[in-house]
Structure 1
Amino acid sequence: MLRFRQSCSRPETLFKRFASSSFENPEIFRSTALVNGKWVSGDDQFPVINPSTSEEVSTVTNCGVAEYNEAIGDAHKAFKMFKNTSPRERSQILYNMYDLMSEHKNDLARLITMENGKTFADSLAEIDYSASYFKWFAEEAPRIYGHVIPSSSSLRKQIITLRQPLGVVGIMAPWNFPSAMIARKLAPVIATGNACVIKPPHESPMSALALGWLAEQAGLSDGVCNVLPTTHTAAIGEYICCHDLVRKITFTGSTKVGKLLMKQCANGNIIKRLSMELGGNAPFIVFDDADIEKAVNGLISCKFRQSGQTCICANRIFVHESIYSDFASRLVAVIESGFHLGDGFSPKVTHGPLINERAVQKVSELVEDAKNKGANVLTGGVRASSLGPQFYHPTVLSGVDETMSIFHTEVFGPVASLISFKTTEEVIERANKTNVGLAGYFYSSNIQTVLDVANELEVGMVGVNGSAISDAAMPFGGIKNSGLGREGSSWGVEDYTDLKSIVLGA
């Protein structure tokens, strides 16, 4: 049984940490690398820290270039066999993964809360979301279709197209959804008959290791899924991008790092397929005919989920001038009456910490810059230091405009920046005035406004009168500097396969 000591900074936060006191199946708790079906340890290790309590959760094997080179070679060998498995066989493995995630849901959620800090309720929801990708691609695996195309030049020719797996896929995932972001990439890898090497985030690597263990239990062949924790982020990222046996890179993270990885891929000998889900600066627009209560609740979910640390968070909240004050007061009331900061295992807590001190410092600097340039703090606006060094009070700023850094920056923290607007034309122009375009949201009861704004927003995904857009069935991705390609949905299969044409009777 694995136990962790309690560390609380205030008497009122004392509680029985039942959820984190033990695992129903200790095998879920992995701390060594998975390479070609073997769990490999080493002398070089690094600590995984709970951002809520600053406790050490575990020490984890720290892999370097040599281990990654071995894993890529093993994955390439495994691919040669795995690509010949039947779609139904791969589908069954994915169904097994879905069933195993459901069976071990509580343990997997405990891991997320320990290493990431989000509330246990949010972690449970992430496991559901993560598992949904394995179920979705279990159903897609037998339906990776080709086409028969009649020739345009001769009745004696037929063109047949089919989709084939790529080879070894390099997976690089972020810390904010340590299970779901890997599941969204691993599931199509398996469905399409590829193999992979996973570089999990060093902040939260244990959820990835748990997925590796589940893949073993699900019947996945040795070497098809390799998981190697590392703190050598820059060196390993470049090594994977330049390795000739890696045929595709899929990355979720910042635009800055995504551009660097693309450049490194271009420096290699092999042109690689790329899936890049990069930064965002999502607009959230509330028109004067919107249901204000519904819009406030949508913003609460969209902006403050996981303390604002999601790539599709609402970042710039545009509210029509006629309802601006009403919307702001309702938003502040909900936050001040319903939000509770603290350790994610407390049943009363609704929001946890930021991931590290750098994240807190970034949020603090953006808020101070906005205040210095005329923004007003309606609630929050300061660190919640009594709870720990990585807590920041949920914040609402009014009077935000383009002169402030927070207007142009992906905050990745619990700050709602309220911006007033007058006309539809004005707000669309201001919303699109950014070089990224991942997600956008708006609320209106006018069908013509819905059609016009959905069409005009320069983003890859739009939420209309709702903010819960994530779904395994949706092609997830952005435009502009928010990335390349789509993950999830039937289009997700295309990004993990090559299209081959066969001409009969040529």
Structure 2
Amino acid sequence: MTFPNPVPTGLYRDRAWHATDETLTVVDPATERPVVDVARASDTHVDAAISAARAGFATWRRTDSWTRSAVLRRTAELLRDWADEAAAVMTAEQGKPLTEARAEFLATADQFDWYADEARRVYGRTVEGHSTSQRITVRREPAGVVAAFSAWNFPALLPSRKIAPAIAVGCAIVVTAAEEAPLSTQVVAAALHEAGLPAGVLSVLTGDPAAISSRLLASPVVTKLSLTGSVPVGRILLHAAADRILATSMELGGHAPVLVFPDADVPAVAELCARAKFRNTGQVCASPSRFVVHESIHDEFVAGFVAATSALRVGPGSDPDSTVGPLSNARRVAAAEHLVADAVAHGAQVAAGGGRDPRFDRGHFFRPTILTDVGEKSAILREEPFAPVAPVLRFADLDEALGIANDTELGLAAYVFTRDLRTAFLASEGIEAGMVGVNTLALATAEAPFGGVKQSGFGREGGSEGIEDYTVTKYVNMELA
């Protein structure tokens, strides 16, 4: 099938796209100019999506796993075929460079490919009872109708981490697309549509997320909530879910430390850190965001880090030569400026960047920034940066490094660079995080569980664990007559 051009802008429900009287405008963060108007859901539209999901679940839960698997596999194939055209859509609405946008759609395809296999491997078990006349079985059944919310920084991958496992096990799902970048989610919906997903199994809403979430979570039809977002939003939705004792899974961001030990390949690590930190303009929940470097190699690391960062090219994501695009909105620019000013006020030195890129009179461009001598009371050491601002800290020994790494309420990802096996084990075991990369900054992959501890949330997406949050356990004890 050919790529849908133009990408649908209506609400997706019951295998159709529905226009609305009210719309919202998607804005290009590189130009601050409108891209397109998309549908804005009212309470009536939310209620219609809930009704469609209830009917879709009744059918889909009775559909065999091989059929569900085939739909997911075909979706993956379509997304790979569409990757180039879809990347241009994502870059226009979200800002990231085309190469990153294309990579995101390929990673999104991997989610559907992985769960096409997992759909056929939702295992139960039998248990030996107290007597030979007893038969005990335990099975995993679909959790029901899912309400899913995700952020704008990965507008295709994040919702798909929820859609793919939910569909795999037989759930129906209502997705609220990020209002800043809804078109990428619509591309995913279009692929599922073309792959033959039945009516009601997927609905996509766009509009005011607070109003939509309030309506969805108040419905007795919705039995599961999944969110990828900020800690404050997570708290709000958890309070709403608690009123209904609703099953939830939360991925609420992170503030990942990178521990660089003296035996590491410092020039190579510094270059790798620059590329990873400033990917998606620093707007990555698992992004390396605190660089904790042994005092004996601190200056060498900073020099390499600054050199690699200075080589990055800031520009519109649509420019093939750009390696760092704009921030996604004006709020992120203001937040980045605050973090830098606060750090400097607490004694930090600006080693690279430091503010808006003066070459652009339009767009949300901010220079990749490195801070050294960062004071311990600086906001950037406590708040998730979600910005192209990188603080570099020193440590003297493993205990001090772990103390710095764990001195946060967040615990999503962490990274360790060392050639010593003992240090690698002790550091990765001592860090309070749901995921640890040793000598790598690549963690997100379809075949491994993604998620955090502490205020970074609970539940896992990806891997065989990712399907568990969309199932419930049913135990049957049968006494033979």
**TM-score w.r.t. length of structure 2:** 0.97
Q: Cα offset for 1:26?
A: 4.1
1:58 pairs with one of 15, 36, 39: 36
Of 164, 171, 174, the match for 1:197? 174
Matched, 1:157 2:134: yes
2:112 alignment partner, one of 100, 113, 134? 134
3-state SS in 2 of match to 1:326: helix
Query: Contact 1:401/1:419 (CA < 8 Å) preserved in 2?
Result: no
Question: Shift in Å at residue 389 of structure 1?
Answer: 4.0
Of the three residues 344, 349, 362, the one matched with 2:335 is: 362
Kindly indicate whether residue 213 of structure 2 is the aligned counterpart of residue 213 of structure 1.
no
Distance 1:149 1:401, change over 3 A: farther
Q: CA deviation at 1:300?
A: 1.9
Q: Is the 8 A contact 2:281 2:387 kept in 1?
A: yes
Name which of 262, 272, 280 aligns with 2:238.
262
Task: Select which of 407, 422, 435 maps to 1:433.
Answer: 407
> Identity over aligned residues, as a percent?
36
Correspondent of 1:491 among 461, 465, 470? 465
- Is 1:449 paired with 2:389? no
2:11 alignment counterpart? 33
Contact 1:36–1:226 (CA under 8 A) maintained in structure 2: yes
Please state whether the residue corresponding to 1:142 is helix, strand or coil: coil
The 8 Å contact of residues 28 and 210 in structure 1, kept in 2 or not, is answered as no
Tell me, in whole angstroms, the C-alpha distance in 2 between the residues paired with 1:70 and 1:225. 12
* Aligned-partner Cα distance in 2 for 1:227–1:193: 17
Indicate conservation of the 8 Å contact 2:347/2:375, yes or no: no
Cα deviations by residue, 1:454-493 (Å, 9 ceiling, x for unpaired): 1110000000000011110111100011011111111111
SS where residue 79 of structure 1 aligns?
Answer: helix
Partner amino acid, structure 2, of 1:313: S
One-letter amino acid matched to 1:204: A
1:61-96 deviation digits (Å, cap 9, x = unpaired): 111211001111111011101110000000000000
1:325 matched to 2:299? The reply is yes
**Where does residue 450 of structure 2 map in the other structure?**
476
Most deviating of 239-248 and 83-92: 239-248
Q: Give the Cα–Cα distance (whole angstroms) in 1 for the partners of residues 80 and 146 of structure 2.
A: 26
1:180 pairs with 153, 157, 163, which one? 157
What amino acid is the match of 2:193?
A: E
**Map of 1:18-417 to 2, 5 A cutoff?**
25-27=3-5, 29-151=7-129, 153-230=130-207, 232-268=208-244, 271-336=245-310, 338-387=311-360, 388-417=362-391
Taking the aligned partners of 2:441 and 2:64, their CA distance within structure 1 comes to: 38
Q: CA deviation at 1:154?
A: 3.2
* Distance in structure 2 (CA, Å) of the matches to 1:81 and 1:335: 52
Q: Give the total of aligned pairs.
A: 479
| Contact 1:301–1:467 (Cα < 8 Å) also in 2 | no
Q: Give structure 2 stretches of 5+ with no counterpart.
A: none
Q: Which secondary structure does the structure 1 equivalent of 2:327 belong to?
A: coil
Q: Distance in 1 between matches of 2:275 and 2:478?
A: 54
SS across alignment from 2:179: coil
Report SS of the residue matched to 2:443: coil
8 Å CA contact 1:276–1:484 kept in 2: the answer is: yes
Range 76-85 or range 232-241, more displaced = 232-241
One-letter amino acid of the structure 2 residue matched with residue 312 of structure 1? A
Q: CA deviation at 1:56?
A: 1.2
Q: Deviation above 6 Å: which 4+ runs of structure 1?
A: none
Q: Distance in 2 between matches of 1:150 and 1:493?
A: 26
Q: Which amino acid aligns with 1:349?
A: S
Q: Secondary structure at the match of 2:293?
A: strand
Encode CA deviations 1:334-380: one digit per residue, 9 max, x unaligned: 111x2111111111111100011111011101101111111111110
Tell me how far apart the structure 2 counterparts of residues 479 and 73 of structure 1 sit (CA, whole Å). Answer: 35
* TM-score (normalised: structure 1): 0.93
Residue 134 of structure 1: SS of its match in structure 2? Answer: helix
CA RMSD of aligned residues (A): 1.4
* Alignment partner, residue 467 of structure 1: 441
The letter for the 1-side match of 2:333 is V
Does the CA-based 8 Å contact 2:356-2:365 persist in structure 1?
Answer: yes
Deviation at 1:238, TM superposition (A): 1.8
